[in-house]
Amino acid sequence: MASDAPSPERPARPTPSGDRRLRREAWGFGLGSICFFVGPLPAYGAWAGDVGVAVTFFIGSLLFTTAGFIQLSLSGRRPPRRGMNAADRADWFAAAIQFVGTLFFNVSTGQALVAAVQHPDAVGVGWRPDALGSIAFLVSSGLAVVATRDRGRLWDRDARTWHGTGLNMLGSIAFGVSAVAAYVVPTTGDLVSLFWTNLGTVIGALCFFVAAVLSRRTVLREEHESAATS
């Protein structure tokens, strides 16, 4: 009978408490994605108003930060140390940089909310995707790809999966496009493209939502398999 003891080739499986925290992580990213999906929609903006939209984005960023912190602190995901394999190292840095990116979104959405409350009738009031948060998400997604290439050596083989990594990369690219399109042209004072700003945010949020849903399904399937074999 094969041993279940962890080894460099067979990492330890996450603890039951770690599995529960992973479900909360998926909820945070999923609900946060919904906020960023509906926020740019014209129909929602007409219904909620500028302040309501700003509150939606701010809540979404807080949900992202909560989920990002849970992801970073999951049992088994350790800070880089001597002798750590490349996959685990890339996995930790991907989670850490993504968490920092969510903090940038906290700041930008918070500033937009304050501006909307203080000057609700000002032209152009509202949140626009910020470059720093988008860059952090792109870097994080690239490191996640590196970790997924050798996922069999990760602390948890399901910490990074190709469907989740791919969707998060697409979402990060879409957020990057929206950040570029949200650049204000100095000579005109207009955005490069309001259409691509909103579309990039919507597509990115949709990708993040689907990735979160799929990660939750993976955990539930593992639980059923464990129950069937016990």
Please report which confidence band the pLDDT of residue 207 belongs to, taking 50, 70 and 90 as the band edges.
very high
Q: What pLDDT, on a 0 to 100 scale, did the predictor assign at position 129?
A: 80
State the residue for tokens 């988008």: 134
| Dist CA 214 CA 212 (whole Å) | 5
Q: Which tokens go with 197?
A: 């700003």
* pLDDT tens digit sequence for 100-158: 999 999 999 999 899 888 876 665 567 778 889 999 999 999 999 999 999 888 888 87
Q: Looking at the predicted structure, is the pLDDT value of residue 95 above 50?
A: yes
- The per-residue b/e assignment along 44-68, b for 16 or more CB within 10 angstroms, e otherwise, is ebeebebeebbbbbbbbbbbbbbbb
Gyration radius from the chain CA atoms: 19
Average pLDDT, the chain: 83
Residues in the chain, total: 230
> What average pLDDT does this structure show over 40-57?
91
Spell out the residues 6+ positions from residue 96 whose beta carbon is closer than 8 angstroms to its own. Answer: 72
Q: What pLDDT, on a 0 to 100 scale, did the predictor assign at position 219?
A: 54
Q: Which of 116, 111, 199, 117 is nearest to 103 (CA)?
A: 111
State the residue for tokens 């720093």: 132
* pLDDT tens digit sequence for 50-77: 899 999 999 999 999 999 999 998 878 8
Q: Looking at the predicted structure, is the pLDDT value of residue 4 above 70?
A: no
Question: Greater confidence, 23 or 74?
Answer: 74
Instruction: State the CB neighbour count (10 A cutoff) for residue 40.
Output: 24
Question: Greater confidence, 2 or 144?
Answer: 144
Q: Looking at the predicted structure, is the pLDDT value of residue 19 above 80?
A: no
Per the confidence metrics, is the pTM higher than 0.85?
A: no
> What average pLDDT does this structure show over 209-223?
72
> What average pLDDT does this structure show over 11-33?
70
> What average pLDDT does this structure show over 88-108?
95
Q: What pLDDT, on a 0 to 100 scale, did the predictor assign at position 35?
A: 96
